[in-house]
Amino acid sequence: MHNDSERCLRAVRSKDARFDGWFFTAVVTTKIYCRPSCPVVPPKAENMRFYPSAAAAQQAGFRACKRCRPDASPGSPAWNVHADLVARAMRLIADGVVDREGVPGLASRLGYSTRQVERQLLAEIGAGPLALARAQRAQTARLLIETSALPMAEVALAAGFASVRTFNDTVREVFALSPTELRARAGEVKSPVGTAGALTLRLPFRAPLAPDELFEQLTATAVPGVEEWRDGAYRRTLRLPHGPAIAELRALPGHVSCHLTLTDLRDLSIAISRCRFLLDLDADPVAVDDLLGHDPVLAPLVAKVPGRRVPRTVDGPEFAVRAAAGSSSARLVAACGDPVVDPGGGLTHLFPSPDRLHEADLPVSPRRAAAIRSVAGALVSGALDLSVGGDRSRARAVLGGLTGIGGTTVETIAMRALGDPDAFAVDTRVRQAARELGLPTSGEALEQRTGQWRPWRAYAAQHLAGR
């Protein structure tokens, strides 16, 4: 969108928050970049430049606006919709792959050379993988500076910086303030970080959002010990690179409150990314509702619950195993899950890893055991990649050849584990709703009828299932 100057100008002049994250506005006279919805008086058109990412604006020499905080805007919905190299790379960078494995690790996961990945990102995003990862580290640092009482040296380490000097230089360059000045500007710290690495932050989203329906679905399929609904919040355990964590998510006016208890603060950025992915917070609900609302069958459902999201997962491999295990998931957790300590509730385990399940004596029926081992074996061998950057077409093909995995399960995994917004799982509830509304329920007729809902068929399925 950043290449369409007229459209960008209209969005900036109307201060339209729907476009936050789609593009960023930089002002050549002040060297500051903003969200489209920034409350300041828009500059002259000839002084504006538009960039597809905060990293691109930073790389061009602009610093973040202190009023609208463009670095904290929701992510671009394009990376959820598209399945090409750039979209997969953006999802993996958000998941912390560059910080953990470097650019060669990112390229290896994508199946391309380092040069090809860098060239594609520069062409479409205006910044390479290192610049994108740097921008993410800067935002993580800002969160810790403003919401915790951690010493700055610990903030630098937790945010992923190699040295305190690099941390100081980056914060000054991106925010035009030193780390100490940023903390002083934020005022009193309300969420001190203790030894358990606990902190609370806000997750922004594009309105509207239907939180009740979203959390209801997550709770309805919750695995005891791994997930729970407690005191108006959805809570679950997370398996992260540096140790287990617990996330507590609660919908509040204008944002989702996210309370994280981390083993290691270096996992903060990846925990935030996975919670956002779980709740589908980077979606563009206006675009989704507008397209689906033009269908006379779906229009009443969209009008009844605007802003529906697709509930996803924090761990693709975990969800695939759960899909294979069905109602046996709780027994798998009790027998093979890794114990965790939850001072604030009833969470007891991490969901078992594929490595453990592949060889374990499973407390389930032989049919279920065969399906679980088939999925776990494909994940362990690397034949099946269900990371956020996984190739959706390849994953579908591999899943379709596994024991006990039918077409509906393949689409459900594509929808919730891979985040494919066009996946269409025809389960019992969707089929019943389709029948009652006079829609075809299978075959070529169904495929043709749902074609007009692309690329948002997963959202259409949510409306039908929740009818």
Cα(410)–Cα(384) distance, integer angstroms: 12
Distance from C-alpha of 205 to C-alpha of 414, rounded to nearest angstrom = 23
Q: How many C-beta neighbours within 10 Å does residue 81 have?
A: 17
Separation between Cα atoms, residue 229 and residue 219, nearest integer Å: 6
**Helix locations, 78-128, DSSP H:** 78-81, 85-94, 97-110, 114-125
DSSP helix/strand/coil, 51: strand
Whether the CB-CB separation of 107 and 116 falls below 8 Å is answered with yes
3-state secondary structure of 115: helix
* Selected catalytic residue, list 34, 38, 65, 68: 34
295 has catalytic annotation: no
| Amino acid at the residue 69 | R
Dist CA 310 CA 234 (whole Å) = 15
Q: Beta strands 338-339 and 227-230: pairing type?
A: unpaired
d(CA 27, CA 451): 42
99 counts as catalytic: no
Residue closest to 419 by CA, chosen among 329, 345, 314: 314
Q: Which residue from 64, 66, 34, 37 is spatially nearest to 49, judged by alpha carbons?
A: 34
- Specify whether the CB–CB gap between 35 and 1 falls below 8 A: no
- Retrieve residue 239's tokens: 């398996």
Q: Active site residue: 295, 338, 342, 427, which one?
A: 427
186, 262 Cβ separation under 8 angstroms: no
Q: Which residues are known to be catalytic?
A: 34, 427
